[in-house]
Structure 1
Amino acid sequence: MKNEIILVFLFVLSLAVKGQDKKAEFLTEPSRWEFERFPLPPTFAPNFPYKGVEELRFSPGMFKKEAPDYFSYAFVARLDSISSITQQEVKDYLLSYFKGLCASTAKQRNLSIDTSQVKVSIEKKIKTSANEVIYSAVLNVFGVFTDGAPVTLNAEIKAMTDLRAKKIYLVFITSPQKRTDNIWKQLYAIQHAFIMANWNE
């Protein structure tokens, strides 16, 4: 069952990446977490307003509802040819992304969900520099990789602007677990590793 769920998820994310290089550029670790890379806009959200690329790392328990790290993962989205992004645009990004993902995956798995119930609340946590803002978010989505039941995700998003290259990076980490849970130590380590390896102001 686990392998079947993973295959469905990767199928949804990978329809547009045949023949593309799947080597990790942003999220090289942790190597034991499942990896995926695909172009933006994603196939599950064709009206998505950004072009670029996204890389993801899924925790070992991502697709197992009983696991302590269920639905816990990280992604980095590189948005090309833009030099700013507002809080509302980050919210709209997440709303469009998760509505499309839930709808497409639910259809693939014959699950019945109401995507109007996908909600995103977001607030600025801190502005660390002129080119970096950190947001806290809560996402109401559906566990479409298991039984389709509602899931509330805690999330943090770093929006990082590379003005010289005219690109924005969204570093997204999330889990249903409280931020005091051990999984968040791993998620913050992934976030930090990306920044140290890839980010030059």
Structure 2
Amino acid sequence: MRRLIMLLAILSATNMVLAADSELAKQITVPAGWRGEQISLPPSFAKEMQFKGIEEARFSPGMFQEKSNTFFSYFFVFKIDPGSELTPKNIERELLTYYQGLSRTIFNSRKKKIDTSGFTCKLTKAIPVDSQKIYPPGLKEYAATVEWTEPFVTQKPQTLNLIIQAWTDKTTRHGYLFVCVSPQDFKANIWQSMRNIRGTFFRNLQK
């Protein structure tokens, strides 16, 4: 819990979000024990990011418990101001900058040095499965891996698996990224939990 409080304090610093943006949070429903925060984009820990907008993040109960089967498992939604292209190249660039900045900021807060130049983010195209017809028009899906140094608990190199869904609202022209993250294999139960949350999110968008 202490690590979660520290994370939220760091993410929230200098990231005041207008109350009007609470609409995105209303679309996200999570099970008991999941916690989260809303911050502005670019965040204070990664000001080099080019995407502008807001982020809603939700952390699993075992997010900061190294021995948990949901360690560092969470998801986030970017709502991006109109004008940004959600190409694979741009998404890779923004997520790499995001994780480099996050790791560097946490290490710096602990008076430690970290070289983030070796971090990587690689996307591959995936085929979304939408048997219930709930995804927005034009949605594209990607699988990705992020190689970085986890700064909160282990301070060791870590491989994160990501499932990314990207689309642009045809009415408002806002871009969206729904990103599920975990070091667990894609067959692990946490992925089904996040898919269920994601499905509810898309249904809420249709209301």
TM over 0.5: yes
- Aligned twin of 2:143: 136
Cα shift at 1:111: 3.7
Paired with 1:82 and 1:125, the residues of 2 have a C-alpha distance of 24
User: 1: CA distance between counterparts of 2:120 and 2:53?
Assistant: 24
Alignment: residue pair count: 198
What is the alpha-carbon distance in structure 1 between the residues aligned to residue 14 and residue 122 of structure 2? 30
The partner residue of 1:17 within 8, 11, 15 is 15
More strand by share: 1
Looking at structure 1, the residues matched to 100 and 206 of structure 2 have their Cα atoms a distance apart, in angstroms, of 30
Contact 1:81 1:167 in 2 (8 A): yes
Gaps of 5+ in 2: 130-135
What is aligned with 1:185?
A: 192
1:156 aligns with 2:163: yes
Does the C-alpha gap of structure 1 residues 160 and 6 become closer, same or farther in structure 2, counting only changes over 3 Å? same
Separation (CA, whole Å) in 1 of partners of 2:179 and 2:74: 8
In structure 1, stretches of 5+ residues that fail to align are: none
Residue 124 of structure 1 corresponds to: 125
Say whether residues 1:48 and 2:55 are aligned partners. Answer: no
For residues 152 and 28 of structure 2, the distance between their equivalents in structure 1, rounded to whole angstroms, comes to 22
- Tell me how far apart the structure 2 counterparts of residues 19 and 170 of structure 1 sit (CA, whole Å): 18
- Please show how residues 18-97 of structure 1 align to structure 2 within 5 Å: 18=16, 21=19, 24-82=25-83, 84-97=85-98
- State the match for 2:180 in structure 1: 173
- Residue identity (%): 33
Q: TM-score, normalised by structure 2?
A: 0.88
Cα deviation, 1:63-91, whole Å, max 9, x if unaligned, reads 11111100000000000112631110111
Contact 2:58 2:74 in 1 (8 A): yes
- The 3-state SS of whatever aligns with 1:154 is strand
Higher mean C-alpha displacement, 128-137 vs 37-46: 128-137
Residue 145 (structure 1) aligns with:
152
Secondary structure in 1 matching 2:127: strand
Contact kept? 1:44, 1:104, Cα under 8 Å: yes
**What amino acid sits opposite 2:149 in the alignment?**
F
Query: Which shifted more, 82-91 or 168-177?
Result: 82-91
Cα distance in 2 for residues equivalent to 1:110 and 1:172: 30
Quick one: distance in 1 between partners of 2:5 and 2:172? Answer: 35
Amino acid at match of 2:200: A
> Equivalents in 2 of 1:110, 1:64: separation in Å?
22
